[in-house]
Amino acid sequence: MSLAQLEQELARDLQRLGHGGEPWTRPRVHPSGHVYDAIIVGGGQSGLGAAFALLRERVGNVLVIDENPDGLEGPWVTYARMVTLRTPKQITSIDLGVPALTFRAWWEAQHGSEGWDALDKIPRTDWMAYLRWYRRVLALPVRNNTRLARIEPNIADGVHRLHLAMGAPLLARKVILATGIQGGGQWSVPEWIGQRLPAHRYAHTSGPIDYAALAGKRVGILGGGASAFDNAQFALDQGVAAAHVFVRREQLPRINPIRHLERAGIIPRFAALPDADKYRMMSSFFAHNQPPTNDTFQRACAHPRFHLHLGAPWRDVAERDGEIVVETPQGEHRFDFLAIATGLVTDPRLRPELEGFAERIARWSDRYTPPADAAQPMLDAHPYLGPGFELLPRAPEDAPLLHGLFAFNYSAMVNQGLSAAALSGLKYALPRLSRAVADQLFLDDRQAIVDTYLDYDEAEFSGQWPPLREAVA
């Protein structure tokens, strides 16, 4: 089957499923302009999947916005530097159960079923190509080069105003923040590194690093997780003179809790656990850190210019005689550039989109008190969400302000586990989100919907008794 044939099959499947049915939501009128039922911020896999899931609910007055140019959404072809995805190829996600929409169908249409058998893991750039295809074949309404700067919540009657970095604001009844792994906080570089070095001497690995321009230079990388090794092998492929990875721990992380969560049936039902279990499990999840994949590690090790330093936290960094000097318990190391792979912090107060009302959003510290010896300020700072990813208020009087705002990003981890922001969880998270959004749209208009139903008097049956002679003949 070719890709064109797959697209025909998909179109037939969608037709059979009644996809694209007439919307049922009631339009809102506002003097400032069109009011969308939902605006999804972020056109990565979560945002695209959310748009499809809402269309399946016959919520059609939807717009996806993304700050990036068309086709460059998310990390895949921007700052992710591994060769393949870390996720096993069998996992299904944003297809929402439509076989012709799966990655496998897309792959087999181009490489045959032998090609699927021969595939080990999904190449990173192919995953992005699949996401572009998904967006095109579903004709999803995405507006690129559009960055949400700030939400002005509940300007009137449950309508939120979205101020953009450029251009006129947008209006929406529901705002879904599908803003990705850093979308609930920000990438973090230890503050003291920034204080000691000029900005051109270092970068977080989530940023655009031109490793080709660093060919022949020495690069020091801080961090023991998967991204540190992704960057090392990528930088070496681009011709850097040496890549040194520094890990604080004496041993590399070996256990990847995601694999257990996937197998043990935990991902679909994590949200049903009591808070105490969620807290303990997420605490352990973050303590594990994600190990490098075996293939990335082997790729890095295959370069004679790769060096690994275990039990080597950075004690200090300084710029001296045109070099960067990194001090560790094992001595000094000299570099031309540093890449920092130290992850991120999650906290609604760090997000520009939520500026002005972040303090009014309930966090875990407001709703759950862990045993004193188990407290984790990092977990406590996560927003405490409703079952459909809704932001909840700290104080009941703020409920109308936050009504209609959904955090469909990494900050949902403590409430929802891996359903948020990882491929393994999306097939469970998307129906939960779209149902919650559709339920709100419905219940917000409950009175009018009930009244319209009670007034309904359109005749469907047109038969006559006694029958007209002509009709019987």
Q: Are 230 and 81 in contact (CB under 8 A)?
A: yes
Least distance in angstroms from the C-beta of 180 to ligand FAD: 2
Q: How many CB atoms lie within 10 A of CB 197?
A: 16
CB of 178 or CB of 317, closer to ligand FAD: 178
Binding stretches for ligand FAD (CB under 6 A): 41-47, 65-68, 73-75, 80, 85-87, 147-148, 178-181, 183, 227, 353, 409, 421-423
What does the alpha-carbon distance between residue 66 and residue 57 come to, in Å, rounded to a whole number? Answer: 22
> In the complex with ligand FAD, which residue's Cβ is closer, 44 or 220?
44
Q: Residue 236 CB, nearest distance to ligand FAD (Å)? A: 17
CB of 338 to ligand FAD, least distance (A): 18
In angstroms, give the least distance from the CB of 421 to ligand FAD.
5
Q: Which residues face 253 on adjacent strands?
A: none
Tokens of 299: 């790729």
Region at 138 (left for phi over 0; alpha for psi -120 to 50; beta for the rest): alpha
Q: Which of residues 47 and 257 has its CB atom nearest to ligand FAD in the complex?
A: 47
202-204 and 185-187: which strand pairing? Answer: unpaired
**Neighbour-count burial of 295, counting CB atoms closer than 10 A to its CB (0-12 exposed, 13-18 middle, 19+ buried):** middle
Q: Cβ closer to ligand FAD: 85 or 300?
A: 85
Q: In what order do the strands lie in the sheet with 202-204?
A: 202-204, 337-340, 218-222, 242-246, 306-309
Euclidean distance between the first and final Cα of the chain, in Å? 51
Q: How far is the CB of 166 from ligand FAD (least distance, A)?
A: 11
Q: How far is the CB of 226 from ligand FAD (least distance, A)?
A: 7
Minimum CB distance to ligand FAD smaller for 150 or for 333: 150
The DSSP call for residue 27 is P
Distance CA 184, CA 186 (A): 7
H-run or E-run covering 471: helix 469-472
Pick the closer one to ligand FAD by CB: 76 or 337.
76
Min CB(271)–ligand FAD separation in Å: 17
Distance CA 428, CA 387 (A): 12
Give 184 or 333: the residue with its C-beta nearer to ligand FAD: 184
